Structures are given as structure tokens and as C-alpha cells.
Amino acid sequence: MSIFNYIFDSDWSQRSDIEALKSQNASLVGRSRERRSKEAANEARVEELEQEVGELALLCKTMMQILLEKRVCTGQEFEALIADLDAADGVADGKVTKPKPAELKECPQCKRPVQHHHTHCVYCGMKYPG
Ligand SMILES: [Zn+2]
């Protein structure tokens, strides 16, 4: 703002400032609404995922209990298989890690997707040549 505006601050100049501030405010209100809408969508998605995780945890717990009660396997065998399947995706991180398609090859025997670096199939046990 020039010295001229300080000394001769006109009504027009004030109105212009007010209009500029109104415009800024409207823009901020719009962005704020947009952000609140995104937050609501994210919260809904988190609730949906928590519901799915809870359902999967219940399913796993039920299946493990049936396996143990029917003596299909022991708890140690179950845990060993979990460790094997965890490592089968190439990363022992306590979860199923989706490999990139370029890191997979097809087992010639069972046709399942396996990691490129594996020397044998983790599903059917076939040893790969070379
Ligand atoms: Zn195989």
C-alpha cells in the first residue's frame, strides 16, 4: 500500500479491501468444507476396514479352534505353517505382502504364482532346475 493510500484512504479503497477479504474468506470456507468432506470419507473407510479386520480375526480364530479341537494339527505346526507362508511372499513381516507382478513366475507343476528367487515351489514342493 502506498503512502497515498494511507493519507487518502478512500471509501473505494476500503470497499475493494473488503471485497478481497470476502473473496479470500469464501475460498477458505470452500477448502475447509472440502477437507471436512474428505475427512468424513476417510473416517468411514477406516470404520469399514476395522469391521473387515474384526470379521477376518473372528474367522481365523474360529478356524484355528476347529483345527486344534479336531486335532488336524498342533499349535506349533500351525505357527510353523504361518511362518512358512509369511516368508513365501519374500518378506517375513508377519503378514501377506502382495508381490509386484514382475517378481513372480508360474510353477511349472502346480501353476501357482511363486517368487522368482525361490529354488522350489512353496505350494507343491517341486524343485526348480538350476
Ligand atoms: Zn508348485
Q: Is residue 46 part of a domain?
A: yes
Q: Is residue 130 part of a domain?
A: no
Distance from residue 62's CA to the centre of ligand 1 (Å): 28
- Residue 41: its pLDDT value, please? 94
pLDDT digits (tens, 9 = 90+) for 67-88: 999 999 999 999 999 998 888 8
Quick one: average pLDDT of 98-118? Answer: 84
State the alpha helices, DSSP H only, in 70-120. 75-88
Distance from residue 129's CA to the centre of ligand 1 (Å): 13
Q: Is residue 32 part of a domain?
A: yes
Please state at what angle helix 11-69 crosses helix 75-88, rounded to 10 degrees: 130
Q: Is residue 65 part of a domain?
A: yes
Distance from residue 76's CA to the centre of ligand 1 (Å): 24
Q: Is residue 19 part of a domain?
A: yes
Are 97 and 79 in contact, with CB atoms under 8 Å apart?
A: no
Strand, helix or coil for residue 26: helix
Residue 122 or residue 25, greater confidence: 25
Q: Is residue 52 part of a domain?
A: yes
Q: What share of the chain is helix, strand, coil (3-state, %, to 5)?
A: 60, 5, 30
Could you list the residue range(s) of the whole structural domain that residue 67 is in?
Answer: 11-72
**What are the grid coordinates assigned to 103, written together?**
517378481
Q: Is residue 15 part of a domain?
A: yes
Cβ neighbours of 107 (radius 10 Å): 18
Q: Is residue 58 part of a domain?
A: yes
Residue 13: what residue type?
S
Q: Number of structural domains, the chain?
A: 1
pLDDT digits (tens, 9 = 90+) for 43-72: 999 999 999 999 999 999 999 999 999 999
